[in-house]
Every structure is written in structure tokens, then in C-alpha cells.
Structure 1
């Protein structure tokens, strides 16, 4: 791999990198503390749009992480920012939880099911057939289709759950309209995160546990990419992809000496 600049800012995925199945990854709280002490800007990213940054801050605190609310960046925030840039003061019919609806309100959007500019699909643990039917009819009526992230499943202590990507596929099948996905692996997620902490891609590293989202997204945004083996992708699986991370480490604990 080509020589890169010294890392001056960090982006890191959350599930599979810092936490796994509701427990902190070994060395992860220490890694986050060291990032804070270094004074370098950082953001913790998640494709999950269910929770607000404040919710996630509290969840992480219960697992031993001390992070400010401002250091958490979700696909819900990225989606709201994207729509505010595209159509300021617009309207949307939203399927999702507080992490998405709060972000949409914060950028000045009106949430409505009357001729909205957009249908915005996010994560929820209670997808409603009625809400999905309404989304289909609104899209058929001309609303633009946005989805926070393409993940087909999400983790839970009981196993995988259907996620936004799977529901988006159902809506697309019914309408013939494909959504625009804002979250990873869209590099839009990376660029919005970089802008939030005023960082430059050439001196920023993205840490993730998935080759098909974290590494791909970081690569396409021009970041150094670091795959950790504490989540989804294994070394053997990583070797089968046509692209490579900048490097592979066992866990974020291995990165502490660099901070």
C-alpha cells in the first residue's frame, strides 16, 4: 500500500469494533479514552438510525465508554443533513424511530403523510404493514424514496433481525423505485462525518469490521482503512474481496500505541 500521511483524525464503526453482542470489545474503552486524550478529532459511526446520539452515549456509558454526545454520528443524522442540503425545509413521511425523526425535525423538516417530498425509511423494531403500505402508495404518487442504510439484517442477542435494506427491497419490488441509500457503504456517510469534525480524508483512518460497508466506504472516500477481526468479516473472507483494507488488525486494542 502507498505511504500515507500521519493519522490526524479517526472514524470508527461501533458494532463489531467497539462493542459486540452488548459487551465492550477487549481494549475498546481504553482505545476510546486514548483517542480523547490525544486531542485528535474522532467520530463513532453507526448505520443504525434507531437511536439518537444521546441514547447511544448512555448505552455506551453503561458498557464503560466515556464519549461525548457530539462524537457519535448516525445514518439518521447523515440522512437528515443530506435532505436539508438537497431540499431545505422539505416534507417527509418517515418510517423509523427517534434517532431519525429527531434528526429530521432538527433540520427543519415537517413530517407528514400528505403529499410529502420524500418517503424516508429507517430502522425500527416494529415495522408496520400499514406504514409500509402507505410508503408504497406515497412513492407511487410521486414521493422520492430515501433509505438510511442498505443493511439487510441487524444484530440482536437472539440473532439477526430484518433491517432497513430488506424492507427497502420489499418497497422497491412493489413500486419499481429504488431508494437512495445515505449510510455506509455510500461515501456520503464518510464525507458528512469528515465535514462534521473538519477533517481531511488524506489524514483520516476508518476502522470497521465489515469489508462490504466500512472498508468499501472508507476506501471510496479516500481514507486509510483498518479492518478489525472482532466483528463480521474474517481474514479469509477479506482475502476474497477485489479490494483490500490498508491493513488488518485483531482489534482496536492493537491501535492504542498509535494514539
Structure 2
């Protein structure tokens, strides 16, 4: 079978399900990164790690990706808040590494009456944290969700809770309040990716496995989308689908 035409000016590439699955590199990941060398960013709804952490983990798996080539929903959410609300007081439900990243970005954590509640993937989410978030939102804090995914499949095929599940628990307490989502399929990560590559959306190609996040987000900003299944990019043309944005 013929290989897909990679004729875009730049590429936004999903991570889980496209390049890796758990701690395994998928079949055509190395080939793809070689084909688009210097013209790609990875856009992921990862809301637990920093680009530095993830780049190190990917290098250990044999994928030479620099941290500057990683756009992650968790750190992108922090960057967005720090840019729009410098020095804001934030109730941050997140990993220790994201909490450190937020402090270094000038945000104030663990303050009374926070301005913003930001939920990311927090493995230590608890009843107490849920109550704290509900209380802050009831007092008028803004609500930001790093990524909407409610779960991802684990190595044994069972669902692993994600950021969206924690956000759903909070919304179950406070009701359908307005909130902002940073991760795919919302436009923010796609727009950041294009800006980092210095190209317009119509000249980019999104490569990913999930039509509900990668595909829908691409369509919303007029970007082409190449759908991949099981990491098969060059040898299984039947598993590829182009969708105009």
C-alpha cells in the first residue's frame, strides 16, 4: 500500500494512540517523526506531566522529542491562566509537578478564597478536595478544566480515570456552571501548535487517532485531519481517513 502524502507545512501530532500506547512505541511512530523532522509539535491532553518530564520519558522509549515540541493540556492551562491573570490565586487540583510549574509561573496556590479553580489529573483527588473546589466555585471563582477526557484505556483494557472525570464530579456538586476547557477538542492547543510552528491552520495537518478530540478540534479551526488506528500510519491505508476542516 502507498504511504500517505505528508505535504503540509507543519504537523500537529497526537501522542497516546498515535505514537505510543502506555509505555510501548506504536509501529510507525519512528518513521513518522523522521518524515516530519523539524516541522511538528505533539499536542496532547496530558494533564499530569510537564514537557520536561514527558520528553525525558519519551527519550527513554526511543523517541527523540524535545520538550519544546510538546504542547500539553496541563501546562498549557497554567500558562494561559498566568498570562491572562498574572499572580492569580488558584485552587489547583493537580500533580506535584504541575503545582511546582504553577508556582514558577507566578500563580499563588492554597490561598483562601481563590480566584480560579483549575482541575487537572490529580491522583490524590479526595472528598476534601472536592468540597474545597465546590466551596470556591460557589463563592464565585472561575472554573478551568485542563482537559475533557474522562478516562483512557489502561494496559489491561480497563478505564483509567482522567481529568474530565474529576471535573464531572465537581460539576455534579455545583451544577452546570460556565467553565473553560483548554485541551482538545477546544481550539487552544491547536492554535498554540500552529503559532509555535509559525503556520496557518489551513496549512497544517493534525495526525491522531481520536475523531472526537483530534478530528473535531481540527475541523473547528479549518485544519486537515489524518486519522490513524493502532499507530499504523504508512502501511495500513485502510486505517487512514482525511477529513477537511
TM-score by length of 1: 0.82
- Change in Cα spacing, 1:97 to 1:11, as seen in structure 2 (3 Å) is same
- Aligned mates of 1:129, 1:229 — CA distance in 2: 38
Asked if the contact 2:47–2:120 (Cα under 8 Å) also holds between the matched residues in 1, the reply is yes
- Aligned mates of 1:9, 1:102 — CA distance in 2: 32
Of the three residues 105, 114, 121, the one matched with 1:116 is 114
Q: CA deviation at 1:98?
A: 4.0
Q: CA deviation at 1:246?
A: 4.0
- The secondary structure found in structure 2 opposite 1:226 is strand
Aligned to 2:154: 156
- The secondary structure found in structure 2 opposite 1:94 is strand
- Aligned mates of 1:45, 1:221 — CA distance in 2: 15
- Aligned mates of 1:6, 1:21 — CA distance in 2: 29
Q: CA deviation at 1:6?
A: 4.5
Aligned to 1:250: none
Aligned to 1:225: 225
1:192-231 matches, cutoff 5 A? 192-230=192-230
Unaligned runs of 5+ in 2: 1-5, 232-236
Q: Deviations over 1:17-73 (max 9, x none)?
A: 00013211112123213322xx32x11111011111111112211221011111111
Of the three residues 45, 52, 55, the one matched with 1:54 is 52
1:184-199 matches, cutoff 5 A? 184-199=184-199
Aligned alpha-carbon RMSD (Å) = 2.5
TM-score by length of 2: 0.86
Most deviating of 178-187 and 144-153: 178-187
Unaligned runs of 5+ in 1: 248-259
Runs of 4+ in 1 over 3 A off after TM superposition: none
- The secondary structure found in structure 1 opposite 2:11 is strand
